Amino acid sequence: MSAKKHIEPIPASKAAKDRARRLFTALKTANPDAHCELTYTNPHELLFAVILSAQTTDVAVNKATPALFKAFATPADFAAAGPEGIQPYITSIGLFRNKSKSLATCAQQLVDDHGGEVPDDFGALLELRGVGRKTANCALGEIFGRTEGVVCDTHVQRLAHRFALTTETKPERIEADLMGLFPPAKWPLLAHLLIFHGRRCCPARGPHPENAVCRTFGDASCAQRMASAS
């Protein structure tokens, strides 16, 4: 399933949708302040921050971007700097060489094709260097309040399995299952809720604090790790 192809939601039963609705409510109650944790002040800063966040943490990105965004205020500035100019600001981030090339090329595309603005079209976003479905969905959701699907990062994929929302392993198929379980209006917040919960209450490793969401909706590993942490 190509990242550039439209993804159709996988139909879900009424019982599965009802369980998903209750899970969403529980996640929202447990994580009322769930939001994008990348630091940005305008659309292109968010887009570039999401590109930088691939295979690294938001914390690491947020440490690097203040100096980066101060040095290059506009997409035209990034394009003019080129990879060589951008690279020294992001050496603390994984894959910084490739990411500096992605930022420079993406910035040039914004300048050449979109008047220096982040487009509000999913297909146009996917044409940008360094932008896949996750980044495009995040940008659309944060900037324009809508998405074509669910941001499916590693936290979302992991919790989708722990909460029995999917049995799929490929991100696009996990996303399709989530799209079928939750109404489109909830897609932007759903990812934030799962990411927040994954970071704070249901980590991949380490202590698993007691919490009502994992106790009610989690799989056996959640129960075992909560018991061992108590």
Q: Which residues are catalytic?
A: 134, 153
Structure tokens at 50: 């999401």
Q: Estimate the share of the chain in helix, then strand, then coil, as percent rounded to the nearest 5.
A: 65, 0, 35
Structure tokens at 68: 């980066």
Cβ atoms < 10 Å from Cβ of 223: 13
* CA 126, 129, 132, 136 torsion-angle sign: negative
What does 72-122 look like in DSSP terms, one character per residue?
--SHHHHHHHHHHHHGGGSTTSTTHHHHHHHHHHHHHHHHHHHTTS--S-H
| Residue 208 · residue 222 · CB < 8 Å | yes
Report the alpha-carbon distance of residue 158 to residue 160 in Å, rounded.
5
Helical (H) or strand (E) element with 198 = helix 187-200
